Structure 1
Amino acid sequence: MRVDRRQLIAGGAAALGVSLLVSVGRAAPSTRVAGLIARMTLAEKAGQLSCYSDAIRPVGAVFNPVVNPQDAAAQLAAIRAGQVGMIFNGLGVAGARRAQAAALDSRLRIPLAFAADVLHGHTTIFPIPLAEASAFDPVLAEASARMIAREAAASGLHWTFAPMVDLARDQRWGRVAEGAGEDVLLACHYAAARVRGFQGSDLRRPETIAATPKHFVGYGAVTGGMEYGAIELSDATLRETQLPPFAAAFAAGAASTMSAFGTLNGVPLSGDRRVLTGLLRDTLGFAGPVVSDYDADRELVAHGYARDDRDAARIAILAGVDISMQSGLYERWLPDLVTKGDVPLARVDDAVARVLILKERLGLFDDPMRSLNAGVERRTVGSAAIRSAARMAARRSIVLLKNDGGLLPLARTGQRIALIGPFGADRSQVNGPWSFASTGTNAIDLATGIRTRMGVDARIEVVAGSGIEAPVADGVAAAVAAARAADIVVLAIGEGASMSGEGNSRVDITIPAPQRELAAAVAATGKPIVVVLTHGRALALDGAVAAAPAILATWFLGSEAGHAIADILFGIHEPTGRLPVSFPRATGQQPWSYDRPSVGRPLLPPPAPQDGRAGWRDARDTVLYPFGHGLGYATFATGPTRATIDGATIAVSAEVHNRSNRTGETTVQLYVHDLVASRTQPRRKLVAYRRLTMRGGAADRVHFVIDRAQLAIIGPDGSPMFEPGTFRFWIALSSADGLASDIEVPA
């Protein structure tokens, strides 16, 4: 597992924007922290390493099975006894102050830390992370995370179990919604941006929260897209794809990290010392606390890796899990394990030091009521500034997949619109998965957004037509009647919020059958259709949906969804999103990523025979919409790519043309293929991208400059290295277009 951490950033992450991994090594504990550890009993040390669901300010159902439940009175008593270090997924300042007061009544007066899974918003919900990756704009992601942190901290939080930086290439896995898509470079940029946004420049500031990139490591590669499942990865693939986003997050200063569910090459990740100590600590140099995922330490028993709960606690702490989440195993077993010599006291003290140092970095010892101000909470939560940021992020996350005949944008006046589908007027769905602190009652649905933007002489009829996964009595007939009476149909279909996210893997990633039947019936009326997709993954579109003349991928956009979609539908703003994941032609193409390695029998250009070639007999070896794809109302094209060498750098350029008569924005992407290497290389790999705004009819030459480190591959010893040879470059508008240029790059 040895790999040079500087090379990991420079090569495996392909141009992270930093030349080496910033040192995140932990300084020696302060006098205060060292003094506390010297005074603590084993039971109090175990308490600091124990994290529990918040029973004092519960928010109702939060995804996860009920494990080790407590009521408020029992939890407050445990806090006063020094048996709790942090509590998570609670809501509100008042309850947090009550809990913190109990901690200050404990013998050593060690404050609690309040944590939560704030993946894409707290009370005001921003687009799911996969959606925001569509903006191809880490600056936007950093600004969103800063606003999310401000609102979360105002509600009494110090720490988030986010961002999720797992790289996922299988759209059957529900948690693709929580990440940045299938590309390594984009995942690295977004991981670092979200850490910076959450944490700011100083964790002591009351509007910041500590970040926890998760799940270390490889969780996004679960076999068959099955949640909590097994992971089989070679060391080289692990280093090429899964480690770089974590390295980027750590280089950005992430305060903590979380171990993964599942097994990596047969070993449960929450009990794998080779990963949590060897790779995380020794190789990457990370020294913040590691928190287990929910009950993951106890699950070592179900894996068959531990004999019983006591053994599971021993394995987890020795592997490198510092904080036990929800299981209560550390509180229950660590004192006995240390007393009987099964776990060294030094290992426990090291874990406690990590926790106390984080609390010190958060300023909790000096101000235990930090971020617990009811006045700030009232002024901040749901403020106009945060809602405005959510709307902008949502607008920038929308991808125009198709616009045949220039059907979009819609006219704001003089039209009769039929808004058909289960997502037209349903506010409960727009937030998507992991939005535990918001019920959706403050969200803007699509019908409201459209009405807000329509002129006085326009008309809209809203008909559900079907449920999300079940038909509605007479729903199709009502929808067909509405379509016939309309000039244009906006068909709002897709996945429900409960169909994506944790625990929501799917074997079939098509739109549910009742909605496909609805789409077919509406299409049969012959009226022009704009499909507005709600979804948490790339979908396999078919039938009337795929055939619709205009399709918008709108993901789960959060509190301002309706306003943002209406802004795009009516052309008030340009669609600027680009796909961070490939849309397959069929579910059976999964897993898929555009950067698949070259094969020995590639398909030949038609009409050459394809027998004995790498492909499927019943589907094309291409996707419906490739990574990087996205249209605007302006039309762009790129000219031939030109590549030259200037000393240590490679300069790549191409002309970009706006072939329309309107100003627009596009994202220009630079891809590379290493034609001959000692390890099979991707057919294309993204190495840079840039957003351009151009006037109608304008042309400009875009330039990229890269160095050899960005062309590195994983060598036989597991370390990234550069091999001289011929490289093919494309400047393109997606991973499937562009005019290439080959160049010889010497050593």
Structure 2
Amino acid sequence: MKKSCFLALLLFLFGLKASAQTSSAVIEKKIEVLLKKMTLKEKIGQMNQLSADDMETNFKVIQQGMAGSVLSITNPEIANKAQRLAVEQTRLGIPLIFGRDVIHGFKTIFPIPLGQAASFNPGLVEKAARVAAVEASETGIRWTFAPMIDIARDPRWGRIAESCGEDPYLTSIMGIAMVNGFQGKNLSDPSSIAGCAKHFAGYGAAEGGRDYNTTAITERQFRNVYLVPFEQVVKKANLATIMTAFNANDGIPSSGNEFLLKEVLRKEWNFRGFVVSDWASINEMVDHGFSSDNKEAAEKAINAGVDMEMVSGTYVEYAESLWKEKKIAIETINDAVRNILRIKYSLGLFENPYVKGNTKEVFYKEEHLKIAEKLAEESIVLLKNEGQILPLQKPKTIAVFGPLANAPHDQMGTWVFDGDKDHTVTPLFALKEKYGENITIIYEPILKYSRDQDSTGFDKARKIAKEADVVLLFLGEESILSGEAHSLSDLNFQGLQSKLLETLQKTKTPLVTIIMAGRPLTIEKEVTQSNAVLYAWHPGTMGGPAIINLLFGIVNPSGKLPITFPKNVGQIPMYYGHLKTGRPANGSELNLNNIPIEASQTSLGNKSYYLDSGNEPLFPFGFGLSYTNFEYREIALSKTILKKDDILEITLSLKNTGNYQGTEIVQLYARDLAASVALPIRELKAFQRIDLKAGEEKRVMFKLPISDLAFYGMDMKKKVEAGKFDLWIGSNSISGEKVSFEVK
């Protein structure tokens, strides 16, 4: 019986593989048949993407067969009208693909991606992306410009909000989850939308955290850090499309970088989808000084491997003349069109080009809101809980202050084009709805918005706070202060928010600070002055109920930081996986407050650290508290001497030693002690979410393939090098008991 079941399973799996291969072969045959029918102009038209800003003009362009895509149509009727022109009134009837920035939700808004990464829950993140796809596709959108999987290590950069943080492994896992959610089990499903990993590549390393700025990343850094998530989503998630970055690296703009687009993406990774430029990034190569004019920019982008141009129109204007001048080859154009048609066929657009538009049936469905609430709960990070003030224990009077307590628009966060603030449930609303009958809730925003400089309400706040059992203070950033082109050089609270916190702290009433922001802020002083701190990011549509559930202990916080929090801007860039210097500090160095007067030049020890703030962050990557406590013990390795093709098993006992049921995110880090090139002092290699009841203990196992220790070394080839390794399992990137092993 077992043998027959096994044979049946093999036949089933073989059938699935054969079916996929057949489907792929059929699509390739269709592409070649269609390609032979196309004129040069029609091919160039497929490489042209329009913006929905002027649809009357667009309709004419579409009817002429000179558009392959339109971005930002969200009205099903307009989408169908445009599609009918393409399908029914052009010579070949090639359907359009409609794109949109669906970054962290379409109508139901989820936490910003940086917040989602804090959940360390890829399964839940995938569900959120699926919801976004279901809602967006009902309007005709079949392509999203997400996920953004740039490695981001500078919180001055506004787009860090769209990222999954500083770590290549975590970003890879979250990127795969998002792509799988967007694209579903089959791209041809009408509720699936093509993913677009961005920005290829290195955009998150912009100098000074200033958007669009230049980068200086070496090839080894690219391969060991910045390209890792892109390679993973290409190889493990069947990614449909990739977007080039705005930045120039080492003087070469990404939209003209043949090494990245041809050598790495196509030849090494065998990427079969298509590449789209970012908004006008092709003609911006003129501004970079990389091209003399738009015509040369088009030439360089086409030859580099950018298949579709977003809005700037240089392909339509110059591609034909460039071909006539033999500056671009017809096969280069054919390859670009093949890549575009491949995704259109895969999406089933030729068979089902139109959309039903049953938006009322899918927008803000109850099941969608539940996923949004759960993801918000798991993304929020408890940074401080002095004297176990949280969870709140039946206070009679709660004073609620701050500009973010009831800010439905700002709560949704950056890069939200389609969310409706009228559907946002704020913390104030959720608090009143859940506890308003039993608790006296006094609400005064005092500051109307995060940049408010008006202190006239401070005396009123002081009086209210003195009469309350606890103060809930909601601070942070308006959504407009993070996101694209919203870089900051100062990461302190804007306006008089810090002054308001200081005023309330002096009342001696227990103070709980809840922060909603699109990036790590420099909050060292504010953390010290608060009794408890929750970092909620911008938590989305259902952020209010999620926050209240955490404050009252209905849910135990489990979020962990996906990004290091610096003490001040001067420490940036600060990230856990840095290289070790030849003179590392050990924490015992003198600082500004204890340097002797007229000390000799070498009396401070000649170590690498800041005299005024040291080397330690405010909070490390992976940090996050719980209402309970977890004990790690009995860490054991299956072997201490391994071969390069072995799998190392690491086991440990994890016990919940506190009084609440909780979830611990167990993190595994490794370090290669001596290699052909210097490597990070720690690298995240795996993590697990472990649920434990109070007093419960579990044995946890990790299986670490030794191949996961591979890197690009001196010879720029990826491999595991023999040597000694350290390994830590703990609750964050600076904790954990160290164990060691050797690879022969």
1:81 — aligned with what? Answer: 64
Q: Helix, strand or coil: the match of 1:503?
A: coil
In the aligned structure 2, how far is the partner of 1:159 from the partner of 1:660?
Answer: 46
Q: CA deviation at 1:95?
A: 1.6
Q: Helix, strand or coil: the match of 1:388?
A: helix
Deviates more, 1:520-529 or 1:453-462: 453-462
In the aligned structure 2, how far is the partner of 1:52 from the partner of 1:425?
Answer: 38
Alignment of 1:38-53 (within 5 A): 38-53=36-51
In the aligned structure 1, how far is the partner of 2:397 from the partner of 2:729?
Answer: 42
In the aligned structure 2, how far is the partner of 1:644 from the partner of 1:612?
Answer: 41
In the aligned structure 2, how far is the partner of 1:610 from the partner of 1:480?
Answer: 45
Deviates more, 1:125-134 or 1:340-349: 340-349
2:613 — aligned with what? Answer: 619
Q: 1:640 touches 1:741 (CA, 8 Å); kept in 2? A: no
Q: CA deviation at 1:141?
A: 1.2
Residues 499 and 75 from structure 1, CA distance in 2 versus in 1: closer, same or farther, beyond 3 angstroms? Answer: same
Listed one character per residue, the Cα deviations across residues 695-718 of structure 1 (whole Å, up to 9, x for unaligned) are 212333322221221222322111
Deviates more, 1:225-234 or 1:698-707: 698-707
Listed one character per residue, the Cα deviations across residues 12-49 of structure 1 (whole Å, up to 9, x for unaligned) are xxxxxxxxxx99x9869644332332232322222111
The one of 73, 76, 86 equivalent to 1:93 is 76
The one of 734, 742, 746 equivalent to 2:743 is 746
Residues 644 and 33 from structure 1, CA distance in 2 versus in 1: closer, same or farther, beyond 3 angstroms? Answer: closer
Size of the aligned set, in residue pairs, is 705
1:36 — aligned with what? Answer: 34
One-letter identity of the residue aligned with 2:69: M
Q: Helix, strand or coil: the match of 2:617?
A: coil
In the aligned structure 2, how far is the partner of 1:339 from the partner of 1:736?
Answer: 60
Q: CA deviation at 1:473?
A: 5.3
Q: Does 1:532 pair with 2:529?
A: no
Q: Helix, strand or coil: the match of 2:437?
A: coil
Q: CA deviation at 1:221?
A: 1.2
In the aligned structure 1, how far is the partner of 2:587 from the partner of 2:344?
Answer: 60
The one of 158, 176, 185 equivalent to 2:169 is 185
In the aligned structure 2, how far is the partner of 1:44 from the partner of 1:409?
Answer: 63
In the aligned structure 2, how far is the partner of 1:129 from the partner of 1:738?
Answer: 27
Listed one character per residue, the Cα deviations across residues 137-195 of structure 1 (whole Å, up to 9, x for unaligned) are 11111111111111111121111111111111111111111111111111111111111
The one of 469, 484, 497 equivalent to 1:487 is 469
Q: Does 1:469 pair with 2:451?
A: yes
Q: 1:414 touches 1:457 (CA, 8 Å); kept in 2? A: no
2:197 — aligned with what? Answer: 213
The one of 634, 657, 662 equivalent to 2:655 is 657
1:447 — aligned with what? Answer: 428
Q: Helix, strand or coil: the match of 1:74?
A: helix
Q: CA deviation at 1:497?
A: 0.5
Q: 2:450 touches 2:495 (CA, 8 Å); kept in 1? A: no
1:227 — aligned with what? Answer: 211
1:674 — aligned with what? Answer: 672
1:705 — aligned with what? Answer: 703
Listed one character per residue, the Cα deviations across residues 526-553 of structure 1 (whole Å, up to 9, x for unaligned) are 1111110111111211323443110001
TM-score calculated relative to the size of structure 2: 0.92
In the aligned structure 2, how far is the partner of 1:565 from the partner of 1:485?
Answer: 23
In the aligned structure 2, how far is the partner of 1:96 from the partner of 1:683?
Answer: 51
Q: 1:453 touches 1:570 (CA, 8 Å); kept in 2? A: no
Q: Helix, strand or coil: the match of 1:556?
A: coil
In the aligned structure 2, how far is the partner of 1:27 from the partner of 1:546?
Answer: 63
Q: Helix, strand or coil: the match of 1:114?
A: strand
Alignment of 1:272-421 (within 5 A): 272-369=257-354, 372-374=355-357, 376-411=358-393, 413-421=394-402
Deviates more, 1:648-657 or 1:589-598: 648-657
In the aligned structure 2, how far is the partner of 1:208 from the partner of 1:46?
Answer: 27
One-letter identity of the residue aligned with 1:448: F
In the aligned structure 1, how far is the partner of 2:413 from the partner of 2:43?
Answer: 38
One-letter identity of the residue aligned with 1:558: G
Alignment of 1:570-581 (within 5 A): 570-581=552-563
In the aligned structure 1, how far is the partner of 2:55 from the partner of 2:371?
Answer: 35
Residues 544 and 356 from structure 1, CA distance in 2 versus in 1: closer, same or farther, beyond 3 angstroms? Answer: closer
Q: CA deviation at 1:649?
A: 2.8
One-letter identity of the residue aligned with 1:433: T
Alignment of 1:529-568 (within 5 A): 529-568=511-550
Q: Does 1:456 pair with 2:454?
A: no
The one of 584, 591, 597 equivalent to 2:579 is 597
1:429 — aligned with what? Answer: 410
Q: CA deviation at 1:513?
A: 4.1
One-letter identity of the residue aligned with 1:99: A
Where structure 1 has 5 or more consecutive residues not aligned to the other structure, the ranges are 1-21, 56-70
In the aligned structure 1, how far is the partner of 2:327 from the partner of 2:674?
Answer: 52
Q: Does 1:102 pair with 2:85?
A: yes
One-letter identity of the residue aligned with 1:568: L
Q: 2:515 touches 2:535 (CA, 8 Å); kept in 1? A: yes
In the aligned structure 1, how far is the partner of 2:572 from the partner of 2:139?
Answer: 40
Identity level (%): 35
Residues 537 and 159 from structure 1, CA distance in 2 versus in 1: closer, same or farther, beyond 3 angstroms? Answer: same
Where structure 2 has 5 or more consecutive residues not aligned to the other structure, the ranges are 1-19, 591-602
Listed one character per residue, the Cα deviations across residues 39-96 of structure 1 (whole Å, up to 9, x for unaligned) are 32322222111112113xxxxxxxxxxxxxxx22111111111111111122121221
In the aligned structure 2, how far is the partner of 1:430 from the partner of 1:625?
Answer: 23
In the aligned structure 1, how far is the partner of 2:276 from the partner of 2:459?
Answer: 53
Listed one character per residue, the Cα deviations across residues 619-666 of structure 1 (whole Å, up to 9, x for unaligned) are 021111111111111111323643341762323233322121222111
In the aligned structure 1, how far is the partner of 2:231 from the partner of 2:589?
Answer: 45
In the aligned structure 1, how far is the partner of 2:323 from the partner of 2:25?
Answer: 25
The one of 617, 621, 629 equivalent to 2:623 is 629
One-letter identity of the residue aligned with 2:533: I
Deviates more, 1:323-332 or 1:513-522: 513-522
1:4 — aligned with what? Answer: none
Q: 1:641 touches 1:740 (CA, 8 Å); kept in 2? A: no
Q: Helix, strand or coil: the match of 1:441?
A: helix
The one of 100, 104, 107 equivalent to 1:116 is 100
Q: 2:652 touches 2:699 (CA, 8 Å); kept in 1? A: yes
In the aligned structure 2, how far is the partner of 1:188 from the partner of 1:286?
Answer: 17
Listed one character per residue, the Cα deviations across residues 336-361 of structure 1 (whole Å, up to 9, x for unaligned) are 21123221111111111111121111
Q: Helix, strand or coil: the match of 2:339?
A: helix
1:61 — aligned with what? Answer: none
Listed one character per residue, the Cα deviations across residues 494-529 of structure 1 (whole Å, up to 9, x for unaligned) are 111011111111111221141111111111111111
Q: CA deviation at 1:481?
A: 2.6
In the aligned structure 2, how far is the partner of 1:607 from the partner of 1:658?
Answer: 36
In the aligned structure 1, how far is the partner of 2:721 from the partner of 2:40?
Answer: 53
2:6 — aligned with what? Answer: none
Q: Helix, strand or coil: the match of 1:731?
A: strand
TM-score calculated relative to the size of structure 1: 0.92
Higher relative contact order (CA 8 A, sep 6+): 1
Q: 1:167 touches 1:181 (CA, 8 Å); kept in 2? A: yes
Q: 1:640 touches 1:738 (CA, 8 Å); kept in 2? A: no
2:135 — aligned with what? Answer: 151
One-letter identity of the residue aligned with 1:407: I
In the aligned structure 2, how far is the partner of 1:480 from the partner of 1:26?
Answer: 68
RMSD after superposition: 1.9
Q: 2:455 touches 2:496 (CA, 8 Å); kept in 1? A: no
In the aligned structure 2, how far is the partner of 1:150 from the partner of 1:687?
Answer: 32
The one of 147, 154, 157 equivalent to 1:163 is 147
Q: Helix, strand or coil: the match of 2:691?
A: strand
Q: 1:88 touches 1:114 (CA, 8 Å); kept in 2? A: yes
Listed one character per residue, the Cα deviations across residues 247-292 of structure 1 (whole Å, up to 9, x for unaligned) are 1110110011111111111111111112111121112211211000
1:11 — aligned with what? Answer: none
Q: CA deviation at 1:677?
A: 2.0
In the aligned structure 2, how far is the partner of 1:566 from the partner of 1:694?
Answer: 22
In the aligned structure 2, how far is the partner of 1:655 from the partner of 1:34?
Answer: 58
In the aligned structure 1, how far is the partner of 2:413 from the partner of 2:86?
Answer: 35
Q: Helix, strand or coil: the match of 1:336?
A: helix
